[in-house]
Chains A and B, each alone.
Chain A
């Protein structure tokens, strides 16, 4: 049996693939696209959402029986906003440069549909431990897509990964650049994020035909 029962483990593994929040549920796309030009920013964003969604789901789940349903949206917004302020202050204190790159998109975690969506759909009807697992699972599914998009955009756009020159030096013409390879600067522009996500959806749905919409 171990730490997780089969049902609980499914809560984590499902959102990673067949119920992915970005490609299947269409939630949380706003922030997913804007900050994925670098792998580092994508990872930081994924970790921030993991923190906010994990803790937020537990808090909402603990309060689910005392929140009047008429004002639940405002209550949820206040909980998320408080958690996001913590993330923002920590980033400003320990990674100031990065928080400048992410600019307003840290604040936009508040209105990230993933978070409100999981609160509404799961945390309001389930206990804290299951809500925690659901939060972690969905944030991981979100982070996975973010990291894939960030990986390709940084690799093809500037030839680096996390700032390391993995393809050689474009100015001194070493590595791949020696045989005439060029960086595709277009990958760094924002429209390419949309197209990369479109391609991920394409690949995923070709592999699993039950996901195809009509």
Chain B
């Protein structure tokens, strides 16, 4: 088991290292220079610009040779210092990232986990019940066939604009301040629901389609036929099929996680809802390279951490891994 663990860990460390390096390199490859473009708005005298520029370069850690900057970047990173935002100067990137992660946890975590659980259930049902398969699955195919943003736009149009049940955008409305009051919680939930709902529906389609195929494989497999010939009850076979079918779904979750989180960017943009993905997208638009770095890195860290967690869970629920690695030891 330790070996499995160790191997995974090495992969994670390498991934992290590559991510950090790419992350550091990217802003330095762009044509143009962040400080210069920031100062394009400055209308004052040349001497004042010079002074501003020197000051900003120091504050942004852009002076020194590239290697030195790279080492500094790592040193700061390990201290949890992601630098300062250019556009929201002098705010710290780590603070900005933290403000956004909260919303990712609020929306993505429940949307992904619930859609996974419910999707697997419905998928398993569809796998053995032809009627469900015939009527519900095409609908789910429809969900996964729509680009996230288009789906989100239609959800906004129907539930927010036409029916007026929910607000069209943002995390909470005007005239409301974050506070632990009933009023704020209601406002927050009303704004939270549609982004959550969109992510949930899209995920639901995805997972139930996956599970449906898995369960059909399992139910038609040799061991299931064997069980059936032994006279086992359908329920027992169904249970086995579900348990075996879920395993690839767990791996699937690990693989898809990064894609789901990134797909959420367009949904966040449609709802003008905060989140790491949207933060990153805004940073690109506004050429705020330090926020871009911080958000990208945090996004990858988040995905890696979730993957790691799934790996551990997988280890416990898949007997094969447990056995194969403990035998070797």
Does A pair with B?
Answer: no
Instruction: Enumerate chain B interface residues (CB-CB to A < 8 A).
Output: none
